[in-house]
Amino acid sequence: MSVLVYTENWDGKFKKLSFELVSYAAGVAKLLNTTVAAVSIGRVEENELKKLGNYGAVKIISVNNDQLVSLDSQAYASVISEISVKEGASVIVFANNNTGKAVAPRVSVRLKAGVGSGVSRLPLNVDPFTVYKRTYSGNAFAHVIIKSAVKIITLAQNSFDLIETANNATIEILNISVDPSLLKTSVKDVQKQSGKIVLTDADIVVSGGRGMKSADNWSPLIELATLLGAATACSRPVSDEGWRPHDEHTGQTGKIIAPNLYIAVGISGATQHLAGISSSKYIVAINSDKDAPVFEAAQYGIVGDAMKVLPKLVAAVKEIKK
């Protein structure tokens, strides 16, 4: 018996999310009186792999195979399932991100393992195995009992703190070749914006809504974000109007994020918007309408015109950065 965790890498590097996953898996392993094995797929150097040991992985299994350079969910699921069986995993942990959502359900079918997705706490109980998950887009949480012998958990990003431990990890390089009949997708082109902070990774997000009044008014918001090392985001009407790109839309049908700090500027706070940001640790609302629902979700609020408030915030951040 063990807890297996899939740790994705980005160009050979792990991110904070990877370490959250390992810390979480170590917490689950402790409840079950067992240990954590981490699986990495792709070219990751040994000193990078070793970092997973700092958060409680006892065994690190590295699969590096030319067939697995880009994400093919069918092939990845076959590799992870094979390792799970070999390791006798009773719990498998994925991130509840694009990759986890692509691979976890396929592993579920291969291993007849029930899935608890978007989980944000350690299991509430180990018998029956009960997880705590987000439902109704954050308007409710559910206690879900997973009845199968093998359980799959997808962990919500930024929901679990890093826990460092003594590193006793061993690294195993595993050669697995994938049946070519499982490789049916091919990536023809990759289009990446360089230098932009990835919205779902950002610790701080500064987001603008209709209260910004026009596409031309964004520069103080961007300046504030740059000074804070924050990503920029927007509400749905803003991306629909074309003031900002669609990939910045946060909300129920856009990106769902959970930064440490979310600053909502000129956003009224419709249910659909709050559904995408309600897991943020701190929410700041800046809005000229004192009755805007966003203030009910916020810990800090300023009732005022964004165009007057933003320059003051920019000046104040410059002052503390001196």
Partner 1 sequence: MKILVCISNVPDTTTKIKFAGGNSSIDTTGVQWVINPWDELSLTRALELKDDAATGIKSVTVIHVGNAASEPTIRKALAIGADDGIRVNAESPDAWYVASQIAEVVKNDQFDIILCGIESSDYNGSVVGGMVAEFLGIPSVSAVSGINIENGQPVLTREIDGGKEIIALSAPFVAIVQKGIAKEPRIAAMRGIMMARSKPVKLIDPVAVEPLTLISVFEKPAPRTACKYIDADNAEQLIDLLQNEAKVI
d(CA 22, CA 5): 7
**Region of 27-35, 36-44, 111-119, 168-176 interacting with partner 1 (CB under 8 A):** 111-119
Among 51, 59, 133, 244, binds partner 1 (CB under 8 A): 133
Task: Please work out the total of residues on this chain that contact partner 1, with binding judged by CB under 8 A.
Answer: 97
CA distance 238 to 221: 14
Contact 290, 305 (CB under 8 A): no
At residue 296's C-alpha, the angle toward residues 285 and 117, to 5°, is 95
The residue (of 166 and 190) whose beta carbon lies closer to partner 1 is 190
**What minimum distance in Å lies between the beta carbon of 36 and partner 1?**
23
Query: Which residue from 33, 47, 190, 291 is in contact with partner 1, where contact means CB under 8 A?
Result: 190
Selected binder of partner 1 within 30, 43, 50, 101 (CB under 8 A): 101
Nearer to partner 1, 26 or 202 (CB): 202
Residue from the set 73, 165, 167, 217 that interacts with partner 1 by CB under 8 A:
73
Contact assessment for residue 88 and residue 34, using Cβ atoms and an 8 Å cutoff: no
Site map (CB under 8 A) of partner 1, residues 45-64, x = contact: --------------------
Q: How far apart are CA 177 and CA 56, in angstroms?
A: 28
Question: Minimal CA–CA distance to 251: which of 106, 149, 175, 137?
Answer: 137
On whether the CB atoms of residues 92 and 146 are closer than 8 A, the answer is no
Nearer to partner 1, 168 or 253 (CB): 253
Candidates 161, 166, 192, 291; binder of partner 1 (CB under 8 A) is 192
Judged by CB under 8 A, the chain residues 157 through 186 that form the site for partner 1 are 184-186
CA-based R_g, the chain, Å: 21
Q: Match 């914006």 to its residue by tokens.
A: 193
Least distance to partner 1, CB of residue 40, Å: 17
- Distance from first CA to last CA of the chain, Å, rounded? 53
Residue 312 in contact with partner 1, rule: CB under 8 A: yes
Smallest distance, partner 1 to C-beta of residue 91, A = 14
Instruction: Please report whether residue 102 would count as binding partner 1 according to CB under 8 A.
Output: yes
For the purposes of burial, counting CB atoms within 10 Å of the CB of 125, is it exposed (0-12), middle (13-18) or buried (19 or more)? Answer: exposed
Min CB(306)–partner 1 separation in Å: 10
Q: Is 188 in the site for partner 1 (CB under 8 A)?
A: yes
116: contact with partner 1 by CB under 8 A: yes
Q: Tokens 């990446």 map to which residue?
A: 192
Count of beta carbons in the 10 Å neighbourhood of residue 95 = 24
Residues 103, 107: Cα–Cα separation, whole Å: 6
Relative orientation angle of helices 98-111 and 73-87, to the nearest 10 degrees: 60
Task: Between 92 and 204, name the residue whose CB sits nearer to partner 1.
Answer: 204
Give the nearest distance from C-beta 178 to partner 1 in angstroms.
Answer: 13
Q: Determine the interface stretch with partner 1 among 37-45, 71-79, 85-93, 164-172 (rule: CB under 8 A).
A: 71-79
Query: Hey, which residues between 259 and 298 contact partner 1 (CB under 8 A)?
Result: 260-261, 271-272, 275, 278, 281-285, 295-298
Least CB distance from residue 235 to partner 1, whole Å?
Answer: 13
CB 104 within 8 A of CB 115: yes
Q: Which of 53, 56, 114, 208 binds partner 1 (CB under 8 A)?
A: 114
